[in-house]
Structure 1
Amino acid sequence: MRKSSAILPLVPLAIIVAWVGYSFWQAYQPKPQLLQGQIEAQQYNISSKVAGRIDQVLVKKGQQVEPGQLIFTITSPELEAKLEQAKAGQQAASAMAEQAENGARSQEVAAAKDQWQKAQAAAQLAEKTYQRVNNLYQDGVVAEQQRDEAYTQWQAARYTENAASQMYQLAQEGARDETKKAAQEQVRAAAGVVAEVEAFTSDTEVTSWHAGEVSQLLLQSGELAPTGFPVVSIIDMQDAWLVLHVREDQLSQFQKGHQFMARLPALDNQSFKFEVSHVSVMGDFATWRATDSRTGFDLRTFEIEARPLQQIEQLRVGMSAIIELE
């Protein structure tokens, strides 16, 4: 009885000593090394190929969009004017090609024939006049000069007749094959211009190429949109990944294809499995660390991208991820 009474006061002291010893043991145990990463996702910028004024923006931030959904529209009076010019040029080229294909009109052919017959009659008259003057010259009635003048007028009338005959034949035959082909090619070129302007016109109604969530509205209705300037940005959380930066002495744990667990504080500290999909060295700026006395060389930093192996609900861009190194 006396022995038990002597031991009882020592029990609290023993508990205190054990607790202190356990605390010291815990304090000197190596703590796990933690890395912090961040969630990223694929982002798409939706812009227009044509410059103009924003007419309507048909989506809002946070809205889910699907491929082919109308995002915004643009008004461009200059483009409409160019389309009218292109159509007018196409019609003019078609008319020229039709004219080349059909040849001269019947009235033009008849007029050319009349001109030829007129020249033919004049040539015949000039020939008869020359014959009469030549006979008078043979009889010594007229001078040689008059005979030469009559001969010259006859030859000139013959050339005029020949030219009128050629014009008449040309009117009958119509345009040459080369001229017809050139006219047809001009029609094709004009049609190409119209198609080009119409393609630009169709781009005044801009649709989304991808599914995702609207993250930014960079321009509003009434504002001017330059060519290629992003108007709406969307992110695709179905295509998300984890990005973290590691020193090269830790790189062996993050080889491509390696899987690891990451804890997401924003999602009640739930842990999810990721797989390394890409490893790349970062630029020289701010990625070198002072020489480690244990290794004897400077350490570079590598960027790791890892994809989740399952769909993570409520995942958002910018969420932190904690990785505990082995």
Structure 2
Amino acid sequence: MRIIKIGISLFSLLVLTSCNNEEEITPYRGKVKFETISVSSKLAGRINELYVAEGDEVQKGDTLAFIDIPEINAKMMQAEGAIMAARGHFNMANAGATKEQLSQIEGKLDAAKAELEFAQESYSRLNNMYRDSLVTRQRLDEVKMKLQMARAQVAALEAKREEAGKSVRTEQLAQARGQLDRARGAKEEVLTAFSEMYLIAPANMTIETISLEEGELLSPGYALVNGYKRNSLYFRFTINESRIYDFERGSELVMINPYTKEEITGRITYIKQLPQYAEITSTAPLYDLAESVYELKVIPTSNTTGKTYYTNATILIKD
């Protein structure tokens, strides 16, 4: 009989304890959050040196790591060579023909004029002979054709001499300028890649994790440094649909830290529906699986200076 009484007493104690726990459970349980920042590289390289450690606080613009990318030096030499060649071609095109080129054209023109003079004399002589019926009409036409070809040759060389005396055609100059611009663009691309060798902090942040160590290979887009942006504190609550109508975007809330009993006020900045697999901040048994779940983002409006908050720590909405 005594054993039965002891069993009943223990059962009653468990029931009372369970009831007390249920009274402590609130449907408005949230988490402390900070805006996260991930820093990665656009290019693959080996981590040569890390300048920060986990837990460090850095300022915007601080160097976090140096990535060794050997290909950049070779590409820079190629870009410099391309610019030098393109600039030389552009200067030559802009200046026009050289004295040597003009001298060669003049020599060809003198030879063509001599051939034209000879063709004119030959045509005059055969024309007189044709009148005396000493040569055929076909023979005269052949000489006449050579005369026309000589005249065309002289005209072409005179036009070439005139063009060489000026700058090159607009199209050629534009082509040379385009090649120079393309070479300069290639150099700018290399300079941009060169800047990627240094990973820079994009904002004032606290370093949470460093995913690789010195000597390891960093892939493009892989986050080397993860952290939290300072002064970006907010609170995240998940509310089921039967209770969501108690809240309104822009309204003020009073929250409390269940461990320090410190109170803080905040404003709801957005309310959005979450997918079924989303992270739930409140106690799971308080939710009906058939209900939709919504997220509240609350920005603190009271002064948080000097107060300590840890990411994913519990925060409650005060009734």
TM range (shorter): 0.7 to 0.9
Give the 3-state SS of the residue equivalent to 2:178 in structure 1. Answer: helix
Preserved CA contact (<8 Å) 1:48 1:229: yes
Structure 1 unpaired stretches of 5+? 1-23
Give the distance between the partners of 2:37 and 2:203, measured in 1 at CA: 8
1:168 aligned residue (161, 164, 188): 161
Q: What whole-Å deviation, never above 9, does each CA across 1:267-312 have from its counterpart, x for those lacking one?
A: xx332223242333332348898998xxxx9544333333342315
Comparing 301-310 with 213-222, which one deviates more in the overlay?
A: 301-310
Give the distance between the partners of 1:211 and 1:42, measured in 2 at CA: 11
Structure 2 unpaired stretches of 5+? 1-15
Identical-residue share of aligned pairs (%): 22
- Over 3 Å counting, the alpha-carbon distance change for 1:212 and 1:189 in structure 2 is same
Letter of the 2:315 partner, please give it: A
Give the distance between the partners of 1:120 and 1:305, measured in 2 at CA: 91
- Over 3 Å counting, the alpha-carbon distance change for 1:167 and 1:87 in structure 2 is same
Q: Does 1:281 align with 2:279?
A: no
Give the distance between the partners of 2:240 and 2:134, measured in 1 at CA: 126
Give the distance between the partners of 2:273 and 2:253, measured in 1 at CA: 20
Preserved CA contact (<8 Å) 2:255 2:315: no
Preserved CA contact (<8 Å) 1:217 1:232: yes
Partner of 1:18: none
1:45 aligned residue (22, 38, 63): 38
Q: Map of 1:268-307 to 2, 5 A cutoff?
A: 269-277=260-268, 278-285=270-277, 299-307=291-299
- Over 3 Å counting, the alpha-carbon distance change for 1:322 and 1:153 in structure 2 is closer
Aligned-residue offset at 1:66: 0.4
- Give the structure with higher Rg (CA): 1
Aligned-residue offset at 1:317: 1.1
- Over 3 Å counting, the alpha-carbon distance change for 1:291 and 1:166 in structure 2 is closer
Q: Map of 1:107-146 to 2, 5 A cutoff?
A: 107-139=100-132
2:178 aligned residue (178, 185, 208): 185
Give the distance between the partners of 1:291 and 1:127, measured in 2 at CA: 110
Partner of 1:246: 239
Give the distance between the partners of 1:291 and 1:205, measured in 2 at CA: 48
Give the distance between the partners of 1:87 and 1:176, measured in 2 at CA: 27
TM-score by length of 2: 0.78
- Over 3 Å counting, the alpha-carbon distance change for 1:166 and 1:322 in structure 2 is closer
Give the distance between the partners of 1:291 and 1:303, measured in 2 at CA: 14
Give the 3-state SS of the residue equivalent to 1:194 in structure 2. Answer: helix
Give the distance between the partners of 1:217 and 1:317, measured in 2 at CA: 17
Give the distance between the partners of 1:143 and 1:69, measured in 2 at CA: 96
Partner of 1:233: 226
